[in-house]
Amino acid sequence: SLTRQSDRTEAAKDDAAHVINMGRQIEDMELKIRDALVNVYIGKMREVFNNLRKYQGASAETERREIQANLAAALTARNSGNTAPQ
């Protein structure tokens, strides 16, 4: 939720000082909300990237096992044709 509330008591001698105080409070709240949004965005981005890495890692592992099986089959076929030790 992006609903935020803040209370602050500051001295204001006139209307201009009151407007200045309100401006500071609005800017502070804006920064807090922006930081919260950035944290949510970065957290979600990390989650997406980690899921992509897991997916790519799984497909890379499958590919590695296929290559390993193909090499083992090729070596077995080659060695079964040559019975003499090398």
pLDDT 10s digits, 7-50: 888 888 898 999 999 999 999 999 998 898 888 888 888 888 88
Please state the pTM of the whole predicted model: 0.49
Residue 4: band (very low, low, confident or very high) from pLDDT cuts 50, 70, 90? confident
Mean pLDDT for 64-82 is: 85
**6 pLDDT more than 70:** yes
CA nearest neighbour of 22 among 33, 6, 3: 6
Distance CA 8, CA 21 (A): 9
